[in-house]
A and B are shown apart, each in its own frame.
Chain A
Amino acid sequence: MNLTLKIWRQAGPKATGEMVTYPVSGISEDMSFLEMLDVLNEQLNARGEEPIAFDSDCREGICGMCGLMISGKAHGPEVTTTCQLHMRSFSDGDEITIEPWRADAFPVIKDLVVDRSSFDRIIQAGGFISANTGSAPEAHSVPVPKPKADRSFMAAACIGCGACVAACPNASGMLFLGAKITHLGELPQGQPERDARVVNMLTQHDDEGFGGCTNIGECSSACPKEIPLDVINQLNKDLRHALAHGE
Chain B
Amino acid sequence: MATNTLPVTGKPRPASARRTTVFMKLLMALSGALFVFYVLVHMYGNLKIFGGVEAFDEYALHLRTILMPILPFGGFLWLFRALLVVALVAHAWSAFYLWSRARGARTTRYVAKEAAKATLKSRMMRWGGVALLLFLVWHLLQFTILKFNVGPEAAGDSAGKLVISSFQVWWVVLIYLLALVALGMHLWHGVWSASQTLGWTSSARSRRTAKSVATVIALVTAIGFALPPLAILFGIVKG
Q: Which residues does A use to contact B, with CB under 8 Å?
A: 6, 8, 19, 55, 65, 69, 71-73, 97, 99, 102-105, 109, 113, 115, 117, 120-121, 124, 167, 169-172, 196, 198-200, 202-203, 205-218, 220-222, 228-230, 232-240, 242-243, 247
Contact = CB atoms under 8 A, between A and B. Distances in A.
Given A169-B118, A171-B102, A215 B109 contact: no
A38 to B, nearest CB: 15
A229 B98 contact: no
Interface of B: 1, 3-4, 6-7, 9-10, 13, 15-26, 98, 101-102, 104-118, 122-123, 125, 189, 192-193, 196-204, 207
A57 B108 CA distance: 26
12 contacts: A104-B106, A199-B20, A212-B21, A212-B22, A212-B24, A217-B117, A218-B115, A230-B203, A236-B198, A239-B20, A240-B199, A243-B23
A236 B25 contact: yes
The 6 nearest A-B residue pairs measured at CB = A237-B199, A72-B114, A211-B105, A171-B105, A212-B21, A170-B102
B116 A73 contact: yes
A67 B190 CA distance: 31
Nearest to B118: A216
Between A65, A105, A213, A216, the greatest number of chain B beta carbons within 10 A of the residue's beta carbon is seen for: A216
A103 B106 contact: yes
A234 B201 CA distance: 8
Contact of B25 (A6, A102, A213): A213
A215 B32 CA distance: 15
Given A117-B3, A170-B106, A203-B15, 17 more contacts: A8-B111, A71-B112, A102-B108, A103-B105, A104-B106, A198-B17, A205-B21, A208-B9, A212-B22, A214-B98, A216-B123, A218-B117, A230-B201, A233-B200, A234-B202, A236-B197, A242-B17
